[in-house]
């Protein structure tokens, strides 16, 4: 199971995708969790309303989103358990797309444009894994077995 999770395509194409996606999610997660870069911080974020009515208790789902963004971004940036981090990010983007941004396409109207792009990046990493310059790759030898 672990071997399948860290398996990765021998490509460099995932590196810029991982760096961009990781930085975006670390920044957004840090805003929510720590209040960095003008963010509200965790206590203020948890006072919000979850995107769907069935998400109760709200603090639990909002905490999962905030920490999922931060930790998912760290995992993706490092290329450590890349597929897991990308899955977490992908789920968060699906919820954001359908629960928050649905109804318009472009960002200037709070549309799905940005979430759609980030979801596409996460799906690409789900398919390919972390790539050459990743910790996942270091954990494997040339035959795909754990060291």
Q: How many CB atoms lie within 10 A of CB 131?
A: 22
Any domain includes 18: yes
Boundaries of domain holding 133: 2-138
Strand partners, 140: 146
Instruction: Give the pLDDT of residue 144.
Output: 47
Any domain includes 15: yes
User: Does the pLDDT value for residue 147 go beyond 70?
Assistant: no
Task: Look up tokens 């358990």; give the residue.
Answer: 81
Any domain includes 146: no
User: Does the pLDDT value for residue 146 go beyond 60?
Assistant: no
Any domain includes 117: yes
User: Does the pLDDT value for residue 143 go beyond 80?
Assistant: no
Strand partners, 146: 140
User: Considering the chain, what percentage of its residues have pLDDT values greater than 70?
Assistant: 95
Q: What is the count of structural domains for the chain? A: 1
Any domain includes 143: no
Helix (H), strand (E) at residue 57? none
**pLDDT tens-digit readout, 73-106:** 999 999 999 999 999 999 999 999 999 889 888 8
């Amino acid at each position: 199971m672990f071997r399948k999770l860290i398996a990765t395509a021998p490509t460099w194409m995932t590196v810029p995708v991982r760096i961009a996606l990781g930085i975006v999610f670390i920044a957004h997660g840090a805003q929510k969790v720590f209040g960095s870069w003008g963010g509200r911080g965790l206590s203020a974020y948890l006072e919000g309303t979850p995107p769907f009515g069935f998400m109760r208790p709200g603090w639990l789902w909002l905490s999962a989103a905030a920490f999922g963004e931060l930790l998912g971004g760290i995992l993706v940036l490092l290329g450590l358990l890349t597929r897991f981090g990308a899955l977490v990010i992908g789920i968060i983007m699906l919820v954001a797309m359908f629960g928050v941004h649905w109804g318009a396409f472009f960002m200037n109207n709070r549309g799905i444009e940005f979430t759609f792009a980030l979801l596409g990046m996460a799906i690409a990493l789900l398919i390919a894994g972390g790539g050459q310059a990743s910790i996942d790759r270091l954990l494997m030898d040339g035959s795909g077995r754990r060291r």
